[in-house]
Each structure stands twice: as structure tokens, then as C-alpha cells.
């Protein structure tokens, strides 16, 4: 690695982030072409089916036709693909363009590439450096997970008072957290293919759960309602069509003819089967926003890959207060968690982390 390598790679990561939310089933990827210390082309993967980041960067220099990138260094957040998918293999385009050096943020976990891209480039005489960059790895966390587990990456988002409750009385919606926290959650939604809630949340809060207008989405954003313990009214706000970008899926244990008129209905016998069906319909990542029963059930089923736990500077303890998780003997499960990220959003704290057993 040369002195400026980490800066140009950081720029590639930054470009990659523009694709977040739009690239699934592909990961977001960014690329920068540098010659004589100067950026001559930049690009990122806009959406599945569109050109890969490397090609976008080459196009920006007109290098595909003119050899304008001959002798340049390519910085790319993810290993270039070595297989023809919806687009030709990037390795061939890089070789054809006369690029002499490639700096890669993270290796591609896709078994069809996974090191073979690096090997192909080296065989063509190109110098290749694998940076194993932390930010590049975060960009593909969802993609890696889906590759390895063949089910949706599931993030559980909860919010509670400092003493562990979501509301002081059952059935009452309280605005626990700050405006800043809610903006943070909106950005979390953008990062995922879908939002999921339990039927109870729809009955009590009747939320719309949209990501617009803060994000111009290039692919559908799914709103999923999991009806395990009861159903929801077909006049709920979640069934209002906001834009063509938002689609609603209902997961039930038995058929629900009324709901079929307002949403797609998937019949699944348990949570694992439900997630499997969602994965097969192209949903790679889900942000679950509760409530307390669904959250506890997902943890019990070992389906939670990351938690975002918002803590509001309030106390709600009283005999009727509703705990943040309920309905499952979580103590008996003895799950070990790990905090890896702490964020202050307005007046609130968000603790994020993983369940250790999921990674072992």
C-alpha cells in the first residue's frame, strides 16, 4: 500500500454508499481510477442489472474505447467479479483498459468470485493489493450474510425507556425517542430491502412505515407485517399505496382473503419458513421494528443478525408498563450479545451489536 492508497480507497467506499438500498441482490460497490496522483474517473453500482462500479469509472474516463486509463490504478471497494452475470466480467474490462494496479477493499464472498478475480488480474500481469478495509467490509455486511446463510439479513430495531419499557400502559403509543433518533431509523430503513413489524404494532400505532420522501428508491421497498398472534384490518395505513416503490406483504399462518385484496399474502408455518419465503422473493435484508413479542420470538429463533437498541432518557416503570421484550423466557436462552457500536442521536443513545452465537 502506498501513502495515498487509503485515501483513494476511502473515496471508493464513499461512492459505494450512494448505491445503498438500491443494489440488492448485489452489494453496493464504488470505484476510483487514479493516474499520476489524479482522479481520472469515478463510479458506483447504481442498481442490480446496471453496470458495475469499475465499468462506471472506466466509462467516466472514456477509457473503454480510448485506452485513457492505460497505466492507471483502480481503487475498488469490492473484488472485481470474474464471471459473466447480467454484465460481462469486470476483470476482462480492467485488463482490456490497460490498468496496471488494482487496490481492493474487500474480497468478494460470492463463491463465484471469492479470490478468482484477484487471481485472474494477477495472471494478466496486474499488481493487485487486497486492503481488507474495515469500511469496505461494513458495506458488504448484508450481502456477505445473505451469501453465507441463504436467508435475509435481519436487523432488530427496538426503543425503550432507560428502565426497559416501551410504554407506560398497554395499547398506548408513546413518543419515546427524539426527532434525531427517528431520522436515524429512517436511514436504517433505507439500508434494508424491507421493514417488518408485528400485527400488534399495526393495530396500536397504525404506522405507514414509508422511506419516502427522504430517499429516491430505484427498487421496491417492502413493508412486511407478520401476523402470528392475530390479524390486521385491511383499512390500516400500511396498505395505502404511497408510491409504486412501496409494496406490502402480509405473512400469516392461514389464508387471509380480505388482506389479499390490499397486499401480497404469504402463508408460512413459522418465522424461519416466513423468512425463507421472503428471501426467495428477492428480499435480502429486513429491518424489524418490533413490537416486543415479535422481537423476542425472532431472538428465540436465532434469526437476529444485528440489534439497534435505542434508549430514551425517561423512566416508565409502573405496574402496567410494557417491557421491551416479552412472551419468551429469554433468560433460559442465555444468549450472549456484543456491543460494537454506540451512537448518540439527539437525547437518546443507540446501542448496536450482534448476537455472538450467530457468528460462532
Binding site for its own copies (CB under 8 A): 160, 162-165, 168-169, 296, 299, 309, 311, 313-319, 321, 323-326, 328-333, 335-339, 342, 344, 347, 349, 351, 353
Q: Which is nearer to its own copies, 214 or 326 (CB)?
A: 326
Give the dihedral of Cα atoms 34, 39, 41, 46; nearest 10 deg: 100
Q: Please name the residue that has the C-alpha cell 474490462.
A: 93
Minimum separation from the CB atom of position 184 to its own copies (A): 15
Minimum separation from the CB atom of position 343 to its own copies (A): 10
- Is residue 304 helix, strand or coil? coil
C-alpha span between 263 and 64 (Å, rounded): 45
Q: Which is nearer to its own copies, 57 or 160 (CB)?
A: 160
DSSP 61: T
DSSP 263: S
Inter-helix orientation angle 5-17/53-60, to 10°: 110
Minimum separation from the CB atom of position 142 to its own copies (A): 22
Q: Which is nearer to its own copies, 87 or 358 (CB)?
A: 358
Residues catalogued as catalytic: 54
C-alpha span between 105 and 82 (Å, rounded): 16
Q: Which is nearer to its own copies, 193 or 305 (CB)?
A: 305
Q: Please name the residue that has the C-alpha cell 414509508.
A: 210
Minimum separation from the CB atom of position 173 to its own copies (A): 14
- Cα 302 to chain centroid, rounded: 18
- Is residue 194 helix, strand or coil? strand
- Is residue 128 helix, strand or coil? strand
Query: 76, 53 in Cβ contact below 8 A?
Result: yes
DSSP 319: T
Minimum separation from the CB atom of position 181 to its own copies (A): 12
> DSSP string spanning 142-168?
HHHHHHHHSS-EEEEEEEEETTSEEES
Minimum separation from the CB atom of position 301 to its own copies (A): 14
The x, y and z cell numbers of residue 349, run together, are 443513545
Q: Which is nearer to its own copies, 130 or 328 (CB)?
A: 328
Q: How many CA atoms lie within 13 A of 59 on its CB side?
A: 11
Q: Which is nearer to its own copies, 114 or 168 (CB)?
A: 168
Amino acid at each position: 500500500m502506498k501513502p495515498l492508497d487509503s485515501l483513494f480507497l476511502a473515496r471508493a467506499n464513499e461512492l459505494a454508499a450512494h448505491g445503498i438500498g438500491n443494489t440488492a441482490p448485489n452489494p453496493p460497490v464504488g470505484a476510483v481510477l487514479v493516474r499520476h496522483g489524479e482522479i481520472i474517473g469515478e463510479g458506483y453500482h447504481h442498481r442490480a442489472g446496471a453496470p458495475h462500479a469499475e465499468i462506471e469509472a472506466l466509462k467516466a474516463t472514456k477509457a473503454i474505447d480510448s485506452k485513457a486509463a492505460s497505466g492507471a490504478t483502480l481503487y475498488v471497494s469490492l473484488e472485481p467479479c470474474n464471471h459473466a452475470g447480467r454484465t460481462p466480467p469486470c476483470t476482462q474490462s480492467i485488463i482490456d483498459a490497460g490498468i496496471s494496479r488494482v487496490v481492493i477493499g474487500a474480497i468478494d464472498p460470492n463463491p463465484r468470485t471469492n479470490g478468482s478475480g484477484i487471481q485472474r488480474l494477477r495472471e494478466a500481469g496486474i499488481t493487485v493489493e487486497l486492503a481488507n478495509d474495515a469500511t469496505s467490509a461494513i458495506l458488504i455486511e448484508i450481502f456477505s450474510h445473505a451469501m453465507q446463510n441463504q436467508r435475509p439479513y435481519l436487523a432488530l430495531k427496538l426503543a425503550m425507556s432507560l428502565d426497559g419499557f416501551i410504554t407506560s400502559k398497554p395499547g398506548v403509543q408513546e413518543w419515546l425517542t427524539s426527532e434525531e433518533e427517528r431520522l436515524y431509523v429512517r436511514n436504517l430503513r433505507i439500508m434494508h430491502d424491507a421493514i417488518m413489524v408485528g400485527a400488534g404494532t399495526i393495530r396500536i400505532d397504525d404506522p405507514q412505515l414509508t422511506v419516502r420522501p427522504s430517499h429516491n428508491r430505484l427498487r421496491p421497498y417492502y413493508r412486511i407485517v407478520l401476523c402470528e398472534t392475530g390479524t390486521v384490518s385491511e383499512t390500516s395505513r400500511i396498505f395505502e399505496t404511497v408510491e409504486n416503490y412501496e409494496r406490502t406483504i402480509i405473512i400469516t399462518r392461514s389464508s387471509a382473503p380480505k388482506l389479499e385484496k390490499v397486499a401480497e399474502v404469504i402463508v408460512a408455518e413459522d418465522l424461519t419458513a416466513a423468512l425463507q419465503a421472503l428471501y426467495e422473493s428477492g428480499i435480502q435484508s429486513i429491518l424489524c421494528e418490533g413490537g416486543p413479542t415479535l422481537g423476542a420470538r425472532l431472538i428465540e429463533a436465532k434469526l437476529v443478525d444485528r440489534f439497534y437498541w435505542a434508549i430514551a432518557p425517561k423512566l416508565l416503570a409502573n405496574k402496567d408498563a410494557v417491557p421491551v421484550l416479552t412472551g419468551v423466557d429469554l433468560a433460559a436462552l442465555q444468549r450472549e450479545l456484543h456491543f460494537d457500536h454506540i451512537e448518540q442521536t439527539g437525547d437518546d443513545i443507540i446501542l448496536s451489536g450482534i448476537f455472538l452465537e450467530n457468528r460462532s
